[in-house]
Chain A
Amino acid sequence: MTEIDVNKLANAKAKGKRPYFFDDPAVERVLSITMAVATELAVTRERLDTVERLLEAGEPVTKANIDAYRPDDDASKDRQQWHADYISRILRIVHQELEAVENESLNEDPEKLADDFAAA
């Protein structure tokens, strides 16, 4: 069997010019790395949740038990809800920007406001 470089092949670029949406491609690069790190934190959090559930059940916390763990319906709902809440937290700025587009009254300039009330 031919030796393959798993990481290189997993990371391979798809053929076709990659679109960059931000004015500066560096922003896209940093966003991409940030989301990858965010993903890995979520993976660690799900593993920690497994450790907690094993402890609570009085099971030995071994690597084998962690890897074999399968959440029941209730536990998996808690874990999915955690992902949803977590994603909502890390994308806060995007949702704030949408609010600003939806509602112009949220965009008053504080400096101008101070000037407006400058008269004694």
Chain B
Amino acid sequence: MATSLPPTYDRTGQHPLSPDVDHDETARFNFLTNLNVHLNQNVFPGNRIAFENRVSPKFEKETGHALETRQQVRQAMLGDSYYQSWAALRRNAMEQRQQAGRHAVLRQLDDLIEKAKHYNDGKETLQIDPNAEVPRYLAAVDNHCMPGSYYTDVVSDDVLAGANYETGVFITTAGSMSSKGDGGGRSIVNFVKDRFPDFSPKRILDLGAGIGVNTLPIAEAFPDAEVVAVDAGAPMLRWGHARAQALGYENVKFIHADGDALDLDPNSFDWVQTTMFWHETSTASIHSMMKKVFDLMAPGGLFLNVEQPNFTPETPLYDQFTRDWDAWYNNEPFWSKLHVMDVFEVMAKAGFDSGKMFDGGTEADIEQGQFQPWSSTISRHKAELKDDGDSKHNAYKGERWYLFGGWK
């Protein structure tokens, strides 16, 4: 059993706001990162073997027919003792990661809030709306087991959600999001520059931007553009804005709003970006927000989204089950609905022309020279996608990131 070794936490990108992560906290993060890698590389593949050798034959013997739906696979797997061990360990690792990250941030929360205020107070580039409502779909279940999700303030001027998110993303992704956690944004820029070399946006909207970790590479690639990052979580934006300012990004404005209540000028954005946003948004709100996105976009503008590719008729049932896992057990409930959604149909209903839609993929962009030369990074989702024979996503070849979108 060979396990690749992930980089260590102390090699993550630091900025003037970064929490102090002490010796033992670093060790705790390192253990949890290694645990995630081990569960992914050495335990998770056994679920498929248990499914093929034990769960599927047992179901056929008992019912007289083969498994027909991913829901049946899920129910059948729940009774398997090997799968139970993996699932319990994985859920627990997620919870441990939240506890470890939150504790490190909470013990110095006063200092972090003061540091953030230094960058935030009096700045027009941060707009927090104390009356913004958190939609019920976001408020009912805390996304990926983060207590308080993106939006809860535990004290006034809180930054806990943002600081914990930034601190912990390394543990969950074992460094595959690059040292600053901005691998998604870096990959988006690569895709756009490669595929649309003449594209030169003047106004860019990043919807559901969180702390803007994937927004900043876009702002860097288009320094003359005005960039607007919108999110429903105030503590994410306080942290994200302060972080952006501390890193020298002055062309990014952070606006607090639920996407459904967003009040910006119509026909004004040359590029609307969402990154891993659809799967955390309710199906109903996706439909309403896409209409809003279409209205906000300038004619000739680009709408681009990063997500996992959805299921196709060729996606094996077992793969459908594993890719739905986070929906049910890592508190990302809308992902399962998204997996079977025709995103192009949703875009068409919002006003996009089917002839101007596209999709594709791009590889991970991990900043060189930050992590140890012996280290390797993993992609859990990519491991899950490897057997996904695919006919519809013909521009996507199984790269790290799947992108889809359209032109207005």
* Chain A interface (Cβ < 8 Å from any Cβ of B): 1-2, 4, 6-7, 9-16, 18-23, 27-28, 31-32, 35-36, 39-40, 42-43, 46-47, 50, 66-67, 69-71, 73, 76-77, 79-81, 83-84, 87-88, 91, 94-95, 97-98, 101-102
Contact = CB atoms under 8 A, between A and B. Distances in A.
A76 B8 contact: yes
B181 to A, nearest CB: 19
Nearest to B98: A14
Nearest to A67: B23
Given A31-B88, A35-B35, 4 more contacts: A10-B103, A22-B88, A32-B92, A42-B28
Contacts of B199: none
A22 B99 contact: no
Contact of B8 (A15, A32, A79): A79
A119 to B, nearest CB: 33
Given A1-B155, A39-B96, A97-B81, A21 B91 contact: yes
A28 to B, nearest CB: 5
Chain A facing B: main interface SS: helix
Nearest to B31: A42
Interface stretch (B144-152, B219-227, B280-288, B377-385): B144-152
B96 A43 contact: no
A83 B5 CA distance: 9
B331 interface: yes
B31 to A, nearest CB: 4
A111 B332 CA distance: 48
Nearest to B147: A12
Nearest to A104: B53
7 contacts: A14-B98, A16-B141, A42-B28, A43-B27, A46-B30, A73-B374, A88-B42
B331 A14 contact: yes
Contact of A10 (B30, B83, B99, B328): B99
A77 B147 contact: no
A97 B81 CA distance: 9
A11 to B, nearest CB: 6
B64 interface: no
A98 B46 contact: yes
Contact of B373 (A15, A27, A66, A73): A73
Interface string B1-33: 101011010100000000000111011101110
Contacts of A80: 5-6, 8, 30, 34, 375
Nearest to B139: A15
A97 B84 CA distance: 12
A9 B109 CA distance: 12
Interface of B: 1, 3, 5-6, 8, 10, 22-24, 26-28, 30-32, 34-35, 37-38, 42-43, 46, 49-50, 53-54, 78, 81-89, 91-93, 95-96, 98-99, 102-103, 106-107, 109-110, 113, 139-142, 145-149, 154-156, 160, 328-329, 331, 333, 372-375
A88 B145 contact: no
A59 B109 CA distance: 33
A31 B89 contact: yes
A74 B333 CA distance: 42
B374 A77 contact: yes
B42 A95 contact: yes
Given A80-B30, A84-B34, A43 B142 contact: no
A91 B38 contact: yes
Given A14-B142, A88-B3, A101-B50, A21 B87 contact: yes
Contacts of B107: 6
Nearest to B25: A43
A14 B91 contact: no
A23 to B, nearest CB: 8
A35 B99 CA distance: 13
Contacts of B83: 21
B96 A36 contact: yes
A84 B3 contact: yes
A28 B54 CA distance: 23
Contacts of B333: 16
A4 B106 contact: yes
